Amino acid sequence: MSWRPPSLLVLGFMGVFAALVVTTPAVSRADEPDLTEARDQFKRGAELAKDAQWAAALAAFERSAKLKPHAWTTYNIGVCERALGQYVRARKTFTRALEQRGKDGELPDSTALDIQKFQGEIGALVATLDITIEPSDARIAVDGQPLEVVSRDGERPVALAGTLAAGTGRQVPAADFRVLLDPGHHVFVIAREGFSDAVHAEDVRPGDRRALHLSLDRLPATLHVAADRTNAVVTVDDLDVGVAPVTLLRPAGKHRVLVRRAGFLPYETDAVVRPGQRVELVANLREDKPSLLSRWWFWTAAGVVVTGAALTTYALTRPEPERPAVNGGGLDWTVRAP
């Protein structure tokens, strides 16, 4: 639902416009071309504001402020932002207008009182989310804009949503922090290397104050195992996962990889992988060539050689046999052969 400011604001705009016309030289000097453009943009913003064309008026005032900063212009920017429901931005802008007023006294006391009234009104409309996020170094963006951290004091750092230009998320200030944001529908995008990006939608009402927990899931690692031989079986952490090449997802950490094929020496290694990392292994399988001592024919031939050697050794080393004593019979005589 659109919000139309009371007539007091329109009158205020006209008063501001008149004041600027009075205080701005009728003809700008040649060395101040930006002053003329700033005045023209201010006039355009004031006319658009009379017709409640707040977005167009805001753009005109912002162009004027870029060329020639002025407390009145900053104040008008805040009024436009407030009218558009950009309460967080408006409160920040009004604070800046008061700071500019303090430096050069460009705003009257009545306008300063209006600003304080607006800020009190805005304080009741801004929503507050106390966010807890895991992991604590994740990046976050709200509605396509990074958060603006404005305070790191106290129990939680405080950040503003919707005050910075569109861009990618920035690292959160802490694991627990507070976000001030406009009422309405918001989209949070959280990201971190090694984790799945998360998108969270949140609807907040004016003055809401509640806690919000956001977390990311770790990405699994990708493990690709190939071999230089066909029909090689891959085992990961004692589980057969197929014939190489295989690609599988595994949690981050250390994994035991074994690649086997009959007739080849097994390939074994420990693969250490990080979340979201892809690791490729190529198993170089070497042919299993048995040693000479492991072949059957070697031991058969060796047995023959050993047996022959043993017999030869025995023949060479056996002692000369002793003849038994000759029996002389009853006459006790013997005949010796020559």
CA-based max dimension of the chain? 176
Summarised one tens digit per residue, pLDDT across range 300-338 is 655 555 555 455 555 555 566 565 555 554 544 444 444
Phi, psi (5° rounding) for residue 59? -60, -40
Phi, psi (5° rounding) for residue 83? -65, -30
- Judge contact between 280 and 224, C-beta under 8 A: yes
DSSP 3-state of 327: coil
Which pLDDT band, with edges at 50, 70 and 90, does 17 fall under? very low
Confidence (pLDDT) at 306? 52
7 versus 321: which is more confidently predicted?
Answer: 321
Q: What is the 3-state secondary structure (H, E, C) of 131-179?
A: EEEECCCCEEEECCEECEEEECCCCCCEEECCCCCCCCCEECCCCEEEE
- Judge contact between 283 and 245, C-beta under 8 A: no
Q: What structural domains does the chain harbor?
A: 7-124 (1.25.40.10), 127-215 (2.60.40.1120), 221-283 (2.60.40.1120)
Summarised one tens digit per residue, pLDDT across range 243-271 is 999 999 888 899 999 999 999 999 999 99
- Judge contact between 186 and 200, C-beta under 8 A: no
**pLDDT at residue 234 above 60?**
yes
For the entire predicted model, the pTM comes to 0.66
What is the C-alpha radius of gyration for the chain, rounded to an integer number of angstroms? Answer: 46
Q: Which residues pair with 273 in a beta bridge?
A: 253
DSSP code for 219: P
Residue with tokens 């230009």: 165
DSSP 3-state of 226: strand
Summarised one tens digit per residue, pLDDT across range 103-112 is 666 788 888 8
Which pLDDT band, with edges at 50, 70 and 90, does 218 fall under? confident
For the chain, the straight-line distance linking the first and the last C-alpha, in angstroms and rounded, comes to: 148
Amino acid at 252: A
**pLDDT at residue 28 above 60?**
no
**Dist. CA 39–CA 319, nearest whole Å:** 135
Confidence (pLDDT) at 323? 57
- Judge contact between 193 and 276, C-beta under 8 A: yes
